[in-house]
Amino acid sequence: MNRIPFRYIIGPAIALALAFPGQSPAQAAADSAGIRAAALDYIEGWYAGNAERMERALHPELAKRIVNTDPRNGRNSLGQMGALTLINSTKRGGGKETPVEQQRRDVRILDIFGNAASVRVDASTWVDYLQVAKWNGRWVIVNVLWELRPQQ
């Protein structure tokens, strides 16, 4: 009978316990799944023009921001939108303009601590850094700071 060495069983369990103190591995896995689901509702909802998925992903008081630089003088300004603007832009199909072969939806959870998480979403021509919170039992996006990829 082949037996799995103890170190291969206990190692991942210890890693989960250290990464999520005070949570069981099942809680940690459920939180990761909820965070990933919110990020995918956000980016896939955008591409599909699915306002319901976008709305489900967002906290109603979302702040989405980008630092813009004026090429004439190099000065910065802050572009921003709220949840309703993003939901309505999704409903109008803004993301549907991205060809399917260019649609990226790479989600990487950077950190989780209690009811807060940081997530990076690599999309077609931009990168989003999401701050996600567990709100009334659901993970939702509270803040987004995004940056356009350089044109090639």
pLDDT tens sequence across 100-142: 889 999 999 999 999 999 999 999 999 999 999 999 999 999 9
CATH of the domain at 121: 3.10.450.50
Tell me, yes or no, whether 1 lies in a domain.
no
Q: Are 40 and 28 contacting, i.e. CB atoms less than 8 angstroms apart?
A: no
Rounded to the nearest angstrom, the gap between the alpha carbon of residue 98 and the centroid of all alpha carbons in its chain is 19
d(CA 147, CA 31) in angstroms, rounded, equals 26
Q: How far is CA 64 from CA 2, 5, 67, 143, 152, in A?
A: 53, 48, 11, 6, 25
Domain count, the chain: 1
Tell me, yes or no, whether 49 lies in a domain.
yes
The domain in which residue 107 lies consists of 6-148
pTM: 0.81
